[in-house]
Homo-oligomer: A and B are copies of this chain.
C-alpha cells in the first residue's frame, strides 16, 4: 500500500490543467453530464487505477468502477469508469489516463520479466533499482510491486550496499575483511550487500563475510560460475545479477543461480495502451 498524498493527486490535475480546459470553457461545455471509461487495448497488469480514480473524484466525478492495481486484465477489460460534469471530465481525463498508462506499462513489463525468470527458477526474485525516472519513486515502486517485483533499495538510507566507489576512500578491496567486519559490527539488523565486477572480487567479498553479492555486468555464463564458487565458500550467501538485465537474458541468469535479478529495465517501458471513451449522458 503505497501512500499517495492529496498533494500527489492534486498535482496531476494542476500540472495538466492549471486553469482548466480552455477549449471546454471557450466552447461553453457546461452543465452537461457525461461518463468516461478506460479500457485495456491489450493484455496488461493494471496499475495506479486507484490514484486515477482519486484524480477523477477530486475533479468532482463519481467513480463507478476501478480495477485494482496488480490485476492482470485481458484486452478490452474495463479499468476505470466515472461520470459527472462534462467539463470536469475534460479537465481530469488525461491527468488520470496518462498515469494509468505509464504505471501499467511498468507493471506489465515487470510481470513479463518476472515470469521469464520464474519460468526457469522458482526461487529467483526480481528487484527494481532506485534508477527510476527522477521524482517518480512512488509510481515506479507501486508499478514494480504490482508487477511482482520488490524494491532493491528505496534509496541510500535504508540498506548497506558497498560500491567500489566506497572502497577507494577506506583502503580499497585489500582492506575488505576489516571493512565488512566493521560494518557487521555497526549494522546488525542489515545484510551486508556488496557489488562485484569480477569473480575474483566476488570471492574476496564472500570470504570477507558479505551476506549478498551484487554481480554487475557479468555474462550469464561467468555469473553461473561465480555463483557456484561463492556458494561453495558461503552456502547462505545470496547472489544478485545486475547490469543490463532484460527479457533476453533473464532466464539465463536465473538458470545460472541468481537469487535476485536486479533491474531498472522495466521503468522505461512504453506506456500501456488504453482506450478512453467519453460519452454524453442523456
Contacts and interface: CB of A to CB of B under 8 A. Distances in A.
Interface residues of A, number: 101
Interface string A131-143: 1011111110100
A247 interface: no
Given A133-B136, A189-B240, A170 B7 contact: no
Contacts of A2: 18-20
Contact of A134 (B102, B160, B278): B102
Given A1-B87, A29-B166, A158-B158, A134 B186 contact: no
Copies in the complex: 6
Nearest to A30: B1
Q: Which of A6, A155, A156, A170 has the most CB of B within 10 A?
A: A156
A162 interface: yes
A27 B161 CA distance: 11
Contacts of A1: 17, 20-21, 24-25, 59, 85, 87-88, 91
A27 B170 contact: yes
A259 B270 CA distance: 26
Q: Is the interface of A mostly helix, strand, loop or mixed?
A: mixed
Given A59-B3, A123-B185, A98 B155 contact: no
A32 B136 contact: no
Interface in A88-124: 88, 90-91, 93-95, 98-99, 101-102, 105, 123
